[in-house]
């Protein structure tokens, strides 16, 4: 069971009377790279939200890296080594690239709650490393997300997950809103990530 990174057993989610996900049984080995396919409304995003703790499942079990888990939110999943690129991306439009990578896990030089001083140099360096690792090219890291194309935003979200994920990256339709070239770029990034680890 040790080489199985994630496993679900009878994972079920109902929204009131709507059965969005029924008894999903899934297993993924470390080093594997798989796609889950299904129609619009099939339950793919719902499946991702139950694993990552964005929502609380109706029933079923989840194991991650050998332990049975029940994450209370995506932050807990992140801390355990699971990063997710959500379908709606969840980037902050008004922030630049490093601030988005470190959103919610900012590196502080001095920690005084709201009066903390952020270690911008460190975050910028780590961002550059993360982008390099994924093969993502972004001209100007100080650009705010608002001024970026759909493909560039997607790349930032993927670079963020790749920078922090230690065990698993989940991407929910990473190419749905992209053109042919950007899709090819995202596929290249996924291959680069697989080859790196």
Ligand X SMILES: Nc1ncnc2c1ncn2[C@@H]1O[C@H](COP(=O)(O)OP(=O)(O)OP(=O)(O)O)[C@@H](O)[C@H]1O
Residue placing its CB nearer to ligand X in the complex, 22 or 61: 22
Q: What does 110 interact with, of Mg ion, ligand X, none (CB < 5 to 8 A by kind)?
A: none
Tell me if 120 contacts Mg ion by CB under 5 A. Answer: no
Q: Are 153 and 176 in contact (CB under 8 A)?
A: no
Question: What is the spatial distance between Cα 130 and Cα 124, in angstroms, rounded to a whole number?
Answer: 10
Quick count: other Cβ atoms within 10 Å of Cβ 75?
13
DSSP 146: G
Stretch 42-71: interaction string toward Mg ion, x if CB under 5 A:
--xx--------------------------
Q: What does 8 interact with, of Mg ion, ligand X, none (CB < 5 to 8 A by kind)?
A: none
Q: What does 113 interact with, of ligand X, Mg ion, none (CB < 5 to 8 A by kind)?
A: none
Q: Are 55 and 73 in contact (CB under 8 A)?
A: no
Residue 17 beta carbon to ligand X: minimum distance, rounded to whole angstroms: 10
Q: What does 40 interact with, of ligand X, Mg ion, none (CB < 5 to 8 A by kind)?
A: ligand X
* Contact residues: ligand X, CB under 6 A: 15, 18, 20, 38, 40-46, 87, 173
Question: What is the spatial distance between Cα 48 and Cα 45, in angstroms, rounded to a whole number?
Answer: 5
Residue 87 beta carbon to Mg ion: minimum distance, rounded to whole angstroms: 5
Residue placing its CB nearer to ligand X in the complex, 9 or 173: 173
Residue placing its CB nearer to ligand X in the complex, 30 or 36: 36
Three-state DSSP string of 76-145? HHHHCCEEEECCCCCCCCCCEHHHHHCCCCCCEEECCHHHCEECHHHHHHHHHHHHHHHCCCCCCCCCEH
Applying CB under 5 A, the residues found at the interface with Mg ion are 44-45, 87
């Amino acid at each position: 069971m040790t080489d199985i990174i994630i496993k679900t057993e009878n994972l079920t989610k109902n929204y009131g009377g709507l059965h969005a996900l029924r008894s999903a049984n899934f297993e993924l080995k470390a080093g594997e790279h798989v796609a889950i396919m299904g129609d619009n409304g099939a339950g793919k995003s719902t499946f991702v939200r139950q694993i990552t703790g964005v929502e609380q499942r109706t029933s079923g079990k989840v194991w991650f890296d050998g332990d049975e888990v029940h994450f209370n939110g995506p932050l807990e999943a992140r801390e355990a080594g699971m990063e997710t690129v959500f379908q709606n991306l969840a980037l902050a439009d008004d922030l630049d690239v490093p601030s988005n990578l470190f959103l919610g896990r900012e590196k502080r030089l001095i920690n005084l709650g709201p009066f903390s001083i952020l270690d911008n140099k460190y975050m910028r360096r780590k961002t550059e490393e993360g982008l390099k690792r994924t093969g993502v090219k972004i001209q100007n890291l100080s650009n705010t997300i608002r001024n970026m194309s759909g493909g560039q935003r997607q790349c930032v979200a993927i670079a963020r997950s790749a920078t922090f994920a230690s065990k698993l990256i989940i991407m929910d339709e990473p190419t749905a809103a992209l053109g042919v070239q950007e899709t090819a770029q995202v596929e290249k990034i996924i291959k680069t990530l697989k080859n790196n680890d």
